[in-house]
Amino acid sequence: MKTDVLVLGAGIVGVSVAIHLVKRGRSVVLVDRQGAGEGTSFGNAGLIQREGVAPHLFPQNLPALLNYARNQSTTMRFQWRALPQISRFLAQYWWASRASSYRAIVEDYSKFIAHAVSEHAPLIEEAGAADLIGKAGWMQAYRSDESYRAAREQAESFERFGLDHEALDADALRLREPGVTAELAGAIHWTQPWTVRDPLALTQAYLRLFQSLGGQLVTGDAMTLRSVAGRWEVDGAHGAMSAREAVIALGPWSDQMLRKLGRRLPLGVKRGYHMHYAPRGNVGITMPIYDEAGFLLAPMNRGIRLSTGAEFALLDAPPNLAQLDAAERIAAVSYPLGERLDPSPWMGARPCTPDMKPIIGPEGREGLWLALGHAHHGLTLGPATGRLLADMMTNQAPFIDPTPYSVTRFD
């Protein structure tokens, strides 16, 4: 099989890249070993985070670092056996999170994430997926007056990025979410983000849109990517597939792929877990709520999804459910959670760069392109990434400056 472009990875980023390329007249084959959206894209919190101008930084103050070092936080945990292999990445992550560096990262990031909702919107309409989308925003809830006050100050400072919010004190929060029993000081309601009630279904709807435009999804082994006579080739279920160009959009598996090709990048993973629950007493919650205790609850078609914070570990390490169990103990007495609905918890891995920005653009070898490293914002930035990369691949003027996302920043 020959085609113009092979897109390796059928998560939300890869499918979005494929859609934008086929819309520009390229013949595109999407390659994955499983179905669309069944990897990392399956298990996110369902947020299209227009407000997410400040990516998750590595804590800088000593009390926070000492707290995380105890390895009992619901927000962040690590696996001890992984530390020798991930310590370099963690050190680079910490270094990039210093105030002087982080300010510049936020300025870059804010220009990209400003297009999160506006780039999803046309694809949602074309894919007929409006029934999966909520437009009421989401909340960040705080348990102390001090943290709520700091959150209000930060939200007000983000108004310069064109962000709207509503500050809810404890009484207003109880009126908005009567099912919440936690003693909360207040919440920030971000009003512009959209939410997704089934992230897997959204990715699959985008896949059907891609296929309706003439694209193909083929089962294959992306790890077999090789250069053959000036073209890129991978092994598929029914033989080799060849293209003039290839896009690596393999999420947390991108690092393995690139190492096989001889390129080492400072890539890490943040693993996460989720579980669905029936609403207790048919009350539920009306929108996603992040609790500063270190977890997020989101109303999904399947039930209320509890998503954990980050776990720093090796990609293929066995699951460690301690973080999920700790979050569940707090959430069960604070929110209207009934019985578990899943036979076992889901685990996935977020692909991360130390400077918190994705890698989008040419890899350096002729015809090879990258779309990876989106960390917590793969769902959020999938369509925007697809448009930006397709602009570059088809020699059109990029809709934003791609320089901050170039792989050359790590050379």
Q: Name which of 382, 398, 410, 285 is nearest 41 in CA terms.
A: 382
Across-strand partners of 304? 277, 299
Q: Are 214 and 22 in contact (CB under 8 A)?
A: yes
Other Cβ atoms less than 10 A from the Cβ of 173: the count is 23
Q: Name which of 294, 324, 340, 326 is nearest 143 in CA terms.
A: 294
Q: What does the H/E/C string look like for the chain?
A: CEEEEEEECCCHHHHHHHHHHHHCCCCEEEEECCCCCCCHHHHCCCEECCCCCCCCCCCCCHHHHHHHHCCCCCCEEECHHHHHHHHHHHHHHHHHCCHHHHHHHHHHHHHHHCCHHHHHHHHHHHHCCHHHEECCCEEEEECCHHHHHHHHHHHHHHHHHCCCEEEEEHHHHHHHCCCCCCCCCEEEEECCCEEECCHHHHHHHHHHHHHHCCCEEEEEEEEEEEEECCEEEEEECCEEEEEEEEEECCHHHHHHHHHHCCCCCCCEEEEEEEEEEEEHHHCCCCCCEEECCCEEEEECCCCEEEEECEEECCCCCCCCCHHHHHHHHHHHCCCCEEEECCCCCEEEEEEECCCCCCEEEECCCCCEEEEECCHHHHHHHHHHHHHHHHHHHCCCCCCCCCHHHCHHHHC
Q: What's the rounded Cα separation, in Å, for the pair 144 and 208?
A: 46
Q: What's the rounded Cα separation, in Å, for the pair 406 and 409?
A: 6
Q: Are 190 and 197 in contact (CB under 8 A)?
A: no
Q: Name which of 398, 374, 267 is nearest 13 in CA terms.
A: 374
Q: Are 118 and 150 in contact (CB under 8 A)?
A: no
Amino acid at 48: I
pLDDT by residue, tens only, the chain of 411 residues: 899 999 999 999 999 999 999 999 999 999 999 999 998 899 999 999 999 999 999 999 888 899 899 999 999 999 999 999 999 999 999 999 999 999 999 999 999 999 999 999 999 999 999 999 999 999 999 999 999 999 999 999 999 999 999 999 999 999 999 999 999 999 999 999 999 999 999 999 999 999 999 999 999 999 999 999 999 999 999 899 999 999 999 999 999 999 999 999 999 999 999 999 999 988 899 999 999 999 999 999 999 999 999 999 999 999 999 999 999 999 999 999 999 999 999 999 999 999 999 999 999 999 999 999 999 999 999 999 999 999 999 999 999 999 999 999 999
Confidence at residue 256, expressed as pLDDT on a 0 to 100 scale: 95
Confidence at residue 260, expressed as pLDDT on a 0 to 100 scale: 95
Cα-to-chain-centroid distance, residue 113: 12
Domains, the chain, ordered by start:
1-55+97-131+195-264+354-411 (3.50.50.60)
Confidence at residue 1, expressed as pLDDT on a 0 to 100 scale: 85
Cα-to-chain-centroid distance, residue 24: 26
Q: What's the rounded Cα separation, in Å, for the pair 224 and 236?
A: 9
Q: Quick one: tokens of 90?
A: 């963690």
Q: Quick one: tokens of 352?
A: 């991360």
Confidence at residue 281, expressed as pLDDT on a 0 to 100 scale: 86
Q: Write the CB contacts of 37 (distance below 8 Å, at least 6 apart in sequence).
A: 10, 11, 12, 15, 199, 200, 202, 203, 204, 207
Q: What's the rounded Cα separation, in Å, for the pair 359 and 404?
A: 9
Q: Quick one: tokens of 56?
A: 């998750």
Give per-residue burial for 261-286: e unless 16+ CB within 10 Å, then b.
Answer: eebebbbbbbbbbbbbbbbbeeebbe
Q: What's the rounded Cα separation, in Å, for the pair 315 and 305?
A: 23
% the chain with pLDDT above 70: 100
Confidence at residue 272, expressed as pLDDT on a 0 to 100 scale: 96
Confidence at residue 261, expressed as pLDDT on a 0 to 100 scale: 95
Confidence at residue 282, expressed as pLDDT on a 0 to 100 scale: 81
